[in-house]
């Protein structure tokens, strides 16, 4: 059963960059789905603000087309869509100049309601927007700003962004999005760990052999080549999404589920990470096939040394995890699109069944995509006569099956996160110090790559990544889990 929908208070949400790709693909469809779910007050307003010359009607057409293209859901009876579009308006505005700010002020003026500014623009404009929001008196005491990834490209730039935002807004007003934190299964990770007595006593180096976190994509860089080639897998995925998954998996139980307590515990995990040795990091770049271009072909730079794959053996230096490595990997053009966290428990201390019974381990797998769910591998007797032979079978709970038709009603990451902004709940957003700590750990790895000037290891499209990544595990007597859809 899906929990009840709590209507949000009336709000004004200004989407700077309201005509961009992110607004089109994610923000507007997410808002529409919340509208259909009854969570968006009829008085709420969504104001697109961008450079393009549009009027309200033009923006509504833009939103209609976006929702038609990207909302594959079925909630959109025509009258719903028209009612939703009626709550949209548009201001032509320049983040770097004066154009449009008077019109935006006039629109917002006097409205006594929650106010949120979504910075769906490149980070180079965050400071300009923040300055002008303040200069035009639009920053009400509890106004919120939402900023997108990438939050910097290294520690220095992240610090500069934090400082820039801090000049105009309090940390309690800043919502740094990592959409992985809005995923249902990611939050479920906390529920599994902290609402069940079953797992927590085993959740440590005494019982856990190692943990694998995989975020595999089957697609290449596609149309994002320009951006991606300047970032690479380390900056695009490891520093933020995988780091967040690592934190939620490894953190101590917070005293309560609130933004300060949860983020304090996540920060402690990042700070406890030992500096990664270069030998514990593998970077790769995909090759092409007869029908698909290579990474270099896709980004149109035959000399590019940007990594489309990275694997890291990370160590957390604290009492809970000393001796239990975390193997992290992410990449593009891998065998399948599959993301999971696998907690691999240690062997039973003594096998009463003798060596013929083979080696069996419990593995708890939290699947983030596809088929969100949880699987517990348990060892049982192989049925039939002929002695005691053991096999591993899964106790499998796919959420869509467990929840039935209600599973379709679960809000997607952007829906949940936008509504959390309106509610003023920062729990699922990254705090400034967390982001900086994550860069502090990744910067030396990137610097060492750049200094070594070695190209990434090539790997075949549709594989599990470069051979060196397999070796990273093999040398420890372990192996990666299969990447399967
Ligand atoms: P985009 O280039 O498609 O859109 C940029 C938007 O900013 C447009 O609406 C444009 O009119 C507006 N803009 C540009 N300069 C402006 C100015 N001077 N004044 C006012 N408006 C201006 O970009 P996007 O893909 O929508 O990305 C927006 C942000 O979200 C970026 O920071 C990006 O890194 C981040 N992001 C995007 C995606 C995605 O899937 N597109 C995913 C994650 C994060």
pLDDT range class, residue 3, cuts 50, 70, 90: low
Among residues 270, 274, 340, the alpha carbon closest in space to that of 480 is found at 340
Same structural domain for residues 121 and 217?
Answer: no
At which of 148, 168, 190 does a domain end? 148
- Domain annotation covers residue 405: yes
- Domain annotation covers residue 168: no
**Nearest Cα residue to atom 1 of ligand 1:** 20
Q: How far is the CA of 49 from the centre of ligand 1 (A)?
A: 11
Q: How far is the CA of 350 from the centre of ligand 1 (A)?
A: 57
Which ligand 1 atom is nearest residue 16's CA? 21
| Segments forming the whole domain that contains residue 295 | 181-410+430-474
Q: Which of 17, 153, 175, 176 to mutate to test the pocket of ligand 1 (most atoms within 8 A of CB)?
A: 17
Tell whether the model's pLDDT for residue 185 goes beyond 90: no
- Domain annotation covers residue 163: no
Q: What is the mean pLDDT of the chain?
A: 92
**Nearest Cα residue to atom 4 of ligand 1:** 20
- Domain annotation covers residue 481: no
**Active site (annotated) includes residue 350:** no
**Nearest Cα residue to atom 30 of ligand 1:** 120
Among residues 252, 291, 287, 284, the alpha carbon closest in space to that of 269 is found at 252
Q: Mean pLDDT, to the nearest integer, of 383-411?
A: 79
At which of 130, 148, 166 does a domain end? 148
Q: What is the CATH number of the domain that holds 42?
A: 3.40.50.720
| Catalytic entry in 168, 179, 210, 241 | 241
Same structural domain for residues 241 and 361?
Answer: yes
**Nearest Cα residue to atom 10 of ligand 1:** 17
Phi, psi of 268 (to 5 degrees): -60, -35
Do 182 and 416 touch, CB atoms closer than 8 A?
A: yes
pLDDT tens string 31-83: 999 998 899 999 999 999 999 999 999 999 999 999 988 776 645 567 789 99
Q: What is the pLDDT of residue 407?
A: 66
Q: Specify the number of domains making up the chain.
A: 2
Same structural domain for residues 320 and 465?
Answer: yes
Which ligand 1 atom is nearest residue 122's CA? 32
Which ligand 1 atom is nearest residue 48's CA? 9
Same structural domain for residues 77 and 194?
Answer: no
Q: How far is the CA of 438 from the centre of ligand 1 (A)?
A: 24
pLDDT tens string 239-265: 999 999 999 999 999 999 999 999 999
Q: How far is the CA of 420 from the centre of ligand 1 (A)?
A: 22
Q: Mean pLDDT, to the nearest integer, of 267-288?
A: 96
Which ligand 1 atom is nearest residue 93's CA? 20
Which ligand 1 atom is nearest residue 52's CA? 11
pLDDT range class, residue 162, cuts 50, 70, 90: very high
Q: What is the CATH number of the domain that holds 252?
A: 3.30.360.10
Tell whether the model's pLDDT for residue 2 goes beyond 60: no
Q: HEC string of the chain?
A: CCCCCCCCCCEEEEEECCCCHHHHHHHHHHHHHHHHCCCCCCCCEEEEEECCCCCHHHHHHHHHHHHHHHCCCCCCCHHHHHHHHCCEEEEECCCCCCCCHHHHHHHHCCCCCEEEEEECCCHHHHHHHHHHHHHCCCCCCCCEEEECCCCCCCHHHHHHHHHHHHCCCCHHHEEECCHHHHCHHHHHHHHHHHHCCCCHHHCCCCCEEEEEEEEECCCCCHHHHHHHHHHHHHHHHHHHHHHHHHHHHHCCCCCCCCHHHHHHHHHHHHHHECCCCHHHEEEEEECCCCCCCCHHHHCCCCCCCCCCEEEEEECECCCCCCCCCEEEEEECCECCCEEEEEEEECCCCCCCCCHHHCCCCCEEEEEEECCCEEEEEEEEECCCCCCCCEEEEEEEEEHHHHHHHHHHHCCCHHHHHHHHHHHCCCCCCECHHHHHHHHHHHHHHHHHHHHHCCCCEEECCCECCCHHHHHHHHCCCCCCCCCCC
Q: How far is the CA of 409 from the centre of ligand 1 (A)?
A: 28
- Domain annotation covers residue 422: no
- State how far the Cα of 42 lies from the Cα of 35, in Å rounded to an integer: 9
Q: How far is the CA of 469 from the centre of ligand 1 (A)?
A: 34
- Domain annotation covers residue 202: yes
Tell whether the model's pLDDT for residue 234 goes beyond 90: yes
pTM of the complete model: 0.94
Which ligand 1 atom is nearest residue 227's CA? 34
Q: Which of 25, 120, 417 to mutate to test the pocket of ligand 1 (most atoms within 8 A of CB)?
A: 120
Q: How far is the CA of 93 from the centre of ligand 1 (A)?
A: 14
Give exposure, 98-134, as e/b (b: 16+ Cβ within 10 Å).
eebbebbeebbeeeeebbbbbbbbebebbbbbbebbe
Q: Which of 19, 22, 70, 227 to mutate to test the pocket of ligand 1 (most atoms within 8 A of CB)?
A: 22
- Domain annotation covers residue 166: no
**Nearest Cα residue to atom 25 of ligand 1:** 21
Which ligand 1 atom is nearest residue 18's CA? 9
Q: Mean pLDDT: which of 3-7, 44-48, 379-383, 411-415 is highest?
A: 44-48
Q: How far is the CA of 148 from the centre of ligand 1 (A)?
A: 9
Write out residues with Cβ below 6 Å of ligand 1. Answer: 17-23, 25, 50-52, 93-96, 120-123, 125, 148-150
Same structural domain for residues 77 and 210?
Answer: no
Same structural domain for residues 140 and 193?
Answer: no
**Nearest Cα residue to atom 33 of ligand 1:** 122
Same structural domain for residues 391 and 247?
Answer: yes
Q: How far is the CA of 119 from the centre of ligand 1 (A)?
A: 8
Q: What is the pLDDT of residue 406?
A: 67
Same structural domain for residues 35 and 128?
Answer: yes
Same structural domain for residues 139 and 209?
Answer: no
Same structural domain for residues 313 and 439?
Answer: yes
Do 465 and 319 touch, CB atoms closer than 8 A?
A: no
pLDDT tens string 118-148: 999 998 999 999 999 999 999 988 899 999 9
Q: Which of 99, 103, 121, 129 to mutate to test the pocket of ligand 1 (most atoms within 8 A of CB)?
A: 121
């Amino acid at each position: 059963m899906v929990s009840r929908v709590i209507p949000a208070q009336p709000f004004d949400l200004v989407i700077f960059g309201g005509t961009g790709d992110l607004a089109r693909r994610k923000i507007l469809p997410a808002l529409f789905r919340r509208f259909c779910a009854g969570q968006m007050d009829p008085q709420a307003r969504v104001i697109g603000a961008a450079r393009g010359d549009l009027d309200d009607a033009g923006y509504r057409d833009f939103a209609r087309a976006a929702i038609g293209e990207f909302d594959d859901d079925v909630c959109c009876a025509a009258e719903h869509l028209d009612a939703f579009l009626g709550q949209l308006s548009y201001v032509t505005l320049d983040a770097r100049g004066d154009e449009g700010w008077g019109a935006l002020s006039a629109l917002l003026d006097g409205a006594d309601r929650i106010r949120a500014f979504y910075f769906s623009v490149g980070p180079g404009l965050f400071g300009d927007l923040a300055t002008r929001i303040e200069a035009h008196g639009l920053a009400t005491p509890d106004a919120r700003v939402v900023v997108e990834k990438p939050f910097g490209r290294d520690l220095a730039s992240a610090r500069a962004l934090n400082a820039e935002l801090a000049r105009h807004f309090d940390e309690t007003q800043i919502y740094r999005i990592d959409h992985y934190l809005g995923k249902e299964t990611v939050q479920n990770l906390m529920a599994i760990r902290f609402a069940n007595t079953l797992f927590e006593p085993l959740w440590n180096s005494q019982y856990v052999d190692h943990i694998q976190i995989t975020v595999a994509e089957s697609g290449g860089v596609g149309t994002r080549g320009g951006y991606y080639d300047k970032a690479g897998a380390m900056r695009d995925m490891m520093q933020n999404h995988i780091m967040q998954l690592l934190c939620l998996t490894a953190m101590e139980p917070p005293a309560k589920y609130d933004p300060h307590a949860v983020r304090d515990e996540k920060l402690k995990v990042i700070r406890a990470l030992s500096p990664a040795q270069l030998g514990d990091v593998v970077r790769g770049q995909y090759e092409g096939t007869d029908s698909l271009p290579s990474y270099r072909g896709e980004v149109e730079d035959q000399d590019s040394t940007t990594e489309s794959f990275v694997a890291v053996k990370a160590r957390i230096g604290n009492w809970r995890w000393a001796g239990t490595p975390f193997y992290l990997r992410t990449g593009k053009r891998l065998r399948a699109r599959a993301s999971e966290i696998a907690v691999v428990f240690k062997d039973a201390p003594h096998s009463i069944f003798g060596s013929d019974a083979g080696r069996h381990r419990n593995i708890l797998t939290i699947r983030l995509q596809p088929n969100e769910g949880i699987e517990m591998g348990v060892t049982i007797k192989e049925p039939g006569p002929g002695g005691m032979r053991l096999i591993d079978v899964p106790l499998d709970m796919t959420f869509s099956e467990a929840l039935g038709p209600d599973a379709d009603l679960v809000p997607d990451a952007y829906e949940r996160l936008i509504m959390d902004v309106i509610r003023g709940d920062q729990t699922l957003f990254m705090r400034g110090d967390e982001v900086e700590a994550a860069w502090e750990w990744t910067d030396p790895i990137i610097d060492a790559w750049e200094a070594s000037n070695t190209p990434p290891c090539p790997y075949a499209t549709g594989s599990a990544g470069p051979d060196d990544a397999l070796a990273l595990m093999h040398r420890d007597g372990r192996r990666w889990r299969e990447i399967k859809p």
